[in-house]
Structure 1
Amino acid sequence: MLLLTFPVAMGIGLAMQTAVNAKLRGFIGSPYLSSGFSFLIAWLFLLILSGVTHQPLLISGAVMTHGPGWLWLGGLFGAIALTGNVVLFQKIGSLQTTVLPIMGQIIMSVVIDQFGLFHSPTNTLTLSKIIGLLLIVGGVVLSLGIFAPRDPLLKAATSKPERSSQLFYQLFAVLAGMLMAMQTAINGYLGTVLKSPLHAAFISFSIGVLCLILVNLVTRARLANLKLALQQGPRYWWIWFGGVIGALYVLCSSWLVPLIGTGQVVVLALFGQLVFSALVEHFGLFGSQVTRLSRAKIIGLIIMFMGVLIVKMLTF
């Protein structure tokens, strides 16, 4: 029973990581620099852990030449999703930054299972999955208040370009979730090829770090801005731990799946992520903007979680 609390804690950690990285971005001023620094911290953490456990750091030429080209895309997809979440947190809030990627993640995971993409085991679409997907979409609609009546004054104050921008960020959030699902499948196969989940995580984060270094060089991010974050002192000590949280999530997933199964890990982690992201937004934790939870949002989150539960754990 105690083991089941770990996936919930992992989900809480994911919601916390998004808020922490968004706050770091607020001090640094660049989502690319904050994501790059977060990835670098995670990479250093995995490097130390690999050294302590005597894991290899390099990969053989045979794996490089004979492995499929998409085997190295996990780190890139992770870097895009993390950077996107940092931007999305400030644009659409904590709850939407959690809910919409989860919808994309579930939809893409069903597609991966259906067609056996990335050498994943084939798991065909069933009636239960269709019902679960419909519940997830319905839960998202309720939690975001898409069809709720709007205040005429508020609607008038929101210009058409602003509404279009909001829609763009929401669609990108769904895409980020899809990339996260693909990253999980790719890293899972990479762990099988390398015969070590820790080695696979280290390689994936290494690729992500290299991608973000290139992006920061192209965008000419100012490393001097890191001093602004350092000057915040002990009050904001937690802004440096987003990368460690992300690395722990990857490692704990690799540890727990063989013990309690993928379905339970995913469902319990998403439960923790949904609940804590709602609390972050409701109470304005980690310096986020306060947006009170409504009854419709709570009902929508419950329906969405029921849909996730059906998709991942029930078959009929």
Structure 2
Amino acid sequence: MTIVLMFVALLAGFMLANQNPINADLKKIVGSPFGAAAISFGVGTVFLGILALVVNHALLPSLSFVGSQPGWIWLGGVLGGIYLTSNVLLFARLGAIQTVILPILGQILMGIIIDTFGWFGGNVLPLTFFRVLGVLVLIAGVIVAVVLPGFLNRDVRQLDADTQASVLQPTLLGWRLWAVIAGALSAMQQAINGHLGALLQAPVQGSFISFLIGFILILLVSLMVDKRLPSWTDLQHAQIWNWFGGILGGLFVLATIIVLPTIGAGMTITMGLLGQIIGSMLVQQFGWWRSMKAPVSLVQILGVVVMIVGVGLIKFL
């Protein structure tokens, strides 16, 4: 059963990897990353709402349930909105490489902390030598698969250097710290959502609540930043598949809510990241969703293999 749930988490990461280029293409159409995110969250909310009505015959929990739970149980959607907004801001200040690796580092470390101390209603998993070794190997695999290809590309290095040159060093350090914190918030979001779904005994309803809160937050951010919503004229240029991003995001949240109470936050996050990286490599290889097409390198494949070794050390030793 554990292996099956690990595969579900892997598939969830794969879906998220496909959501990213879909939303990136939508951003070009509506002219704003926040507007594209609001549309994606809106579609995901409607999709999960319909699913919740079909499966649970209800969208929201009872007032007695709401009153009996701690306030932090509703923060999953808020943390997801903060993480999404942070990624947009970080890219313009840190460049591509650090915007990818620093949040991932925060996700992995927070996932281990959550499991070690049993935060957010999770089971306690002792921090053994092999778990620590597995995490180090996993991080090494992420660096090889994600960071090294970009670092070996002189154009990417120069673009990142030019981006960071416009930011003062103390401010740059603050943004790097926030990148790690944003990744940690993303891990906390998944743990909170998993606990909410377990308490409700209704993963679909928990997913809907998280997405609804995130949609409200990102919609407010979009209105504050863009001062407008995407027009119908903009949306007429969208392809049918441009609307799939929110559905894939909703399925990602639903999958993590289902698997996290059983396999833990650390393994859910780890398998999700592995799925994202494999999915991104396939998107890159075949140029799916009008993304830039580029062949997968041996370095990227090596990085994935190292990550799988890290997963094995964490889970099976």
Shift in Å, 1:31: 1.5
* Equivalent runs, 1:153-192 vs 2, <5 Å: 160-163=161-164, 174-192=180-198
Task: Work out which of the residue numbers 197, 200, 203 in structure 1 matches 2:203.
Answer: 197
Unaligned runs of 5+ in 1: none
Q: Contact conserved, 2:95 with 2:160, CA < 8 A, in 1?
A: no
Deviates more, 1:61-70 or 1:249-258: 249-258
Unaligned runs of 5+ in 2: none
Q: State the partner residue of 1:105.
A: 107
Q: Deviations over 1:206-226 (max 9, x none)?
A: 111111222122224432445
Deviates more, 1:82-91 or 1:201-210: 82-91
Q: Does residue 136 of the first structure (1) align with residue 138 of the second (2)?
A: yes
Q: Contact conserved, 2:83 with 2:186, CA < 8 A, in 1?
A: yes
CA distance in 1, matches of 2:161, 2:113: 34
Task: Work out which of the residue numbers 297, 302, 305 in structure 2 matches 1:302.
Answer: 305
Shift in Å, 1:175: 4.1
Question: Judging changes above 3 Å, is the alpha-carbon distance between structure 1 residues 254 and 124 closer, same or farther for their aligned structure 2 residues?
Answer: same
Give the total of aligned pairs.
Answer: 307
TM value normalised by structure 1:
0.79
Deviates more, 1:109-118 or 1:302-311: 302-311
SS of 1:24 mapped into structure 2:
helix
Q: Contact conserved, 2:274 with 2:307, CA < 8 A, in 1?
A: no
Q: Does residue 237 of the first structure (1) align with residue 248 of the second (2)?
A: no
Residue 121 of structure 1 aligns with an amino acid whose one-letter code is N
Q: Does residue 285 of the first structure (1) align with residue 288 of the second (2)?
A: yes
CA distance in 2, matches of 1:88, 1:38: 20
Shift in Å, 1:108: 1.1
Q: Contact conserved, 1:30 with 1:221, CA < 8 A, in 2?
A: no
CA distance in 2, matches of 1:162, 1:138: 25
CA distance in 2, matches of 1:92, 1:257: 31
CA distance in 1, matches of 2:160, 2:278: 32
TM value normalised by structure 2:
0.79
Q: Contact conserved, 2:77 with 2:210, CA < 8 A, in 1?
A: yes
* Equivalent runs, 1:199-218 vs 2, <5 Å: 199-218=205-224
Q: Contact conserved, 1:42 with 1:244, CA < 8 A, in 2?
A: yes
Question: Judging changes above 3 Å, is the alpha-carbon distance between structure 1 residues 175 and 159 closer, same or farther for their aligned structure 2 residues?
Answer: closer
Q: Contact conserved, 1:100 with 1:140, CA < 8 A, in 2?
A: no
CA distance in 2, matches of 1:162, 1:53: 47
Q: State the partner residue of 1:248.
A: 251
Question: Judging changes above 3 Å, is the alpha-carbon distance between structure 1 residues 295 and 129 closer, same or farther for their aligned structure 2 residues?
Answer: same
Residue 296 of structure 1 aligns with an amino acid whose one-letter code is V
CA distance in 1, matches of 2:150, 2:60: 52
Shift in Å, 1:271: 3.7
* Equivalent runs, 1:28-177 vs 2, <5 Å: 28-84=30-86, 101-143=103-145, 144-145=147-148, 160-163=161-164, 174-177=180-183
RMSD: 3.7
Q: State the partner residue of 2:228.
A: 222
Residue 33 of structure 2 aligns with an amino acid whose one-letter code is P
Name the % identity. Answer: 37
Shift in Å, 1:179: 2.2
Question: Judging changes above 3 Å, is the alpha-carbon distance between structure 1 residues 130 and 25 closer, same or farther for their aligned structure 2 residues?
Answer: same
